[in-house]
Amino acid sequence: MPGGFGGALDQNPCPCGGGAYGSCCAPLHRGDQRAETAEQLMRSRYSAFARCEIDYLLATHSEPDVPAQQRHRSLEQSCRQTRWLGLTVLAVSGGGPQDLEGTVQFEARYRGGVLKETSLFQRRDGAEDGPWLYVGALHLEG
């Protein structure tokens, strides 16, 4: 069955490695659920890059100094140019359901290399019930 028709595509493996896409990152990408932890947001963002879910990437990373149209174009170009091959989470510090901040260290493999990053995540506006947001890379290689 072609992608986009029925639910067959949702049973494909999730790019983040967390099971079937339909029960892993898809509910976050569709807005049916919010990430409960910094790691879950990081994994869903990796999957969003792999699946070109640009609206989700925009919604989970606030960059008020960069115009939305410019961010959209940049993300779209990045998604088209990069073939993501796999994700390995190396370390997590904080970022749990009760936390306001956390870091996730990971390796993301792509055709041509490996991106190694330690990312900072925070709750929107520092609110305990706020959604998790990607703030930026604390350390980046690749």
Q: What is the pLDDT of residues 23-41, one digit of tens each?
A: 999 999 999 999 999 999 9
> Which domains are seen in the chain, by residue range?
10-141 (3.10.450.50)
The backbone torsions φ and ψ at residue 20, rounded to the nearest 5 degrees and listed phi first, read -75, 135
pLDDT of the residue at 135: 96
Q: What is the pLDDT of residues 123-134, one digit of tens each?
A: 999 999 999 999
The backbone torsions φ and ψ at residue 91, rounded to the nearest 5 degrees and listed phi first, read -160, 150
Rounded CA-CA distance 1/109 in Å is 29
Q: What is the pLDDT of residues 87-114, one digit of tens each?
A: 999 999 999 999 999 999 999 999 999 9
**Average pLDDT of span 51-72:** 92
Q: 């990045």: which residue's tokens?
A: 78
Q: 């996730």: which residue's tokens?
A: 104
Task: Report pTM.
Answer: 0.90
103: amino acid identity, one letter = T
Is the CA virtual torsion 142, 138, 132, 107 positive or negative? positive
Percent of the chain scoring above 70 in pLDDT? 93
pLDDT of the residue at 138: 95
